[in-house]
Amino acid sequence: MAVVLEGGCRVSQMREGDRLTNGTLRIWNRIGRATGAQAISLRVMEFAPGLSPALRNDDSDEILYLLDAGSESGNAVPNEVSTARVSGWVNLLIDGQSFRVGPDTGIYLRPGETFAVDNPGPDPVTFVSAQCPDADLPPQFVSHPTRLAGTRRSPMVRLADRPAQPTADRWYRILVDDEIGSKQVTQFVGSIPPGRAPDHFHSYEEVLFILRGAGRIWAGETNTPISPGSCIYLPKGLVHCVENTGAGELRLLGVFYPAGSPSVRYDA
């Protein structure tokens, strides 16, 4: 069951509650206008083997991240993705053009683009999706398009290919921003060492997805445990911090709107 902390911070697990199923696709809506967000969403999308239905989002930037299979259990190995690996690699179809995508990859979809996933199997794969601004509409399923004329610039950024940006005793790696085409949204992966950082706030609305490790999310004077698969909503201006209560790294996926730098924060 979702936990709501001080100031509207909301924490839930990735497969809690109702889901929408269509063909090989299952969707869990975690965060959006319906749960109190102003302009950002987060949903979990699981694709079983086979060709999925096609979806289109007409009005928003959509940012995807293909999880490593170990992310849900906390056993993912940082930055080690083998091109020889079969399970976890899929073909992402964007307006009929195919892109080979491996785990720990960020993907930018422009408004109006149609996408589908062709998963060769043998296992399901999971994407974390954020839309900005959130249209608060059901998924729009459409017919599979034939390949359009021209070649779409690669929409993908692998985590292993991005440089680490140090900030104090932690680091972050930006995946999706204006460099890949999204002027509205920033997607990053961050690493937090054991301990609790000072409370702070941001001038943007943010969603977090815990990839590995264990800890607590603090909102004001309230807190709740977090672990791999936790989905967190942070309203703009909310004083918060992520505490790593484990002995190793806590790693998280973050998306925020409007776009900017993860290093910009304001002390409480």
Q: 165-186: per-residue pLDDT in tens?
A: 998 778 999 999 999 999 999 9
The pLDDT value recorded for residue 74 is 47
**Quick check: is 145 in a domain?**
no
**Under-50 pLDDT residues of the chain:** 73-86
Q: Of the candidates 135, 152, 180, which is a domain's last residue?
A: 135
pLDDT in tens, 92-109: 999 999 999 999 999 999
Are 159 and 105 in contact by the 8 Å Cβ rule? The answer is yes
Residue 266 lies in a domain: no
Q: Do 126 and 172 belong together in one domain?
A: no
Q: Specify whether the CB–CB gap between 208 and 253 falls below 8 A.
A: yes
Q: How far apart are CA 229 and CA 31, in angstroms?
A: 13
Residues 124 and 168 in one domain: no
Q: Which of 105, 136, 119, 111 is nearest to 253 (CA)?
A: 105
User: Where is 230: in which H helix or E strand?
Assistant: strand 230-234
Task: Return the number of other C-beta atoms located less than 10 Å from residue 131's C-beta.
Answer: 25
What is the pLDDT, as a whole number, of residue 71? 64
Which pLDDT value is given to residue 266?
Answer: 72
* Residue 21 shares a structural domain with residue 131: yes
CATH code (residue 71): 2.60.120.10
The pairing of beta strand 170-176 with beta strand 195-196 = unpaired
Question: How many Cβ atoms from other residues are within 10 Å of residue 80's Cβ?
Answer: 11
Q: Are 87 and 122 in contact (CB under 8 A)?
A: yes
| Gap between the Cα atoms of 231 and 49, Å rounded | 25
- At residue 224, the 3 state secondary structure works out as strand
Q: Which two tokens stand for residue 24?
A: 């090989």
Question: How far is it, in rounded angstroms, from Cα 210 to Cα 7?
Answer: 20
Q: Tell me the three state secondary structure of residue 160.
A: helix
Instruction: Give the domain extent around 33.
Output: 17-135
Both 98 and 166 in a single domain?
no
pTM, 2 dp: 0.92
Domain count for the chain: 2
pLDDT at 75: 45
Note whether residue 154 is domain-resident.
no
Closest CA to 255 of 109, 150, 121: 109
Judged by DSSP in three states, 16 sits in coil
> Does residue 148 belong to any structural domain of this protein?
no
